[in-house]
Amino acid sequence: MAGGWARDGAVQDQIDDTVSDAVMEARARMPSGESAEDCDLCGEPIAEKRRIAVPGVRTCIDCQAERDMKRVQAGINRRGSKDSQLR
């Protein structure tokens, strides 16, 4: 049940759009192509199992974990309430 001027199902549409955007962003970040034998960041060899599991990988596990911790999530505010727009 949507409130105000929103149609029924609008909230679920917002949730679906948010999930869809997150999936598309994750797919865009996935590496492709030929894997590197040595890490682009630290120069250490990338394990063969990692190269097989992640085609196109360019970083070792340690460097990738560090990069993932630094990643900032930028989201879209899909809430249409007046309060969320005033923040």
d(CA 18, CA 54): 26
- The answer to whether the pTM exceeds 0.85 is no
Given this model, what pLDDT does residue 49 score?
A: 95
- pLDDT tens, the chain, 87 aa long: 445 666 777 888 888 998 999 899 888 888 788 899 999 999 999 999 999 998 899 999 999 999 888 876 666 666 665 555 555
Q: Is 82 in a helix, a strand, or coil? A: helix
Digit-coded pLDDT (tens) for 64-80: 999 888 876 666 666 66
- Determine contact, residues 41/50, Cβ cutoff 8 Å: no
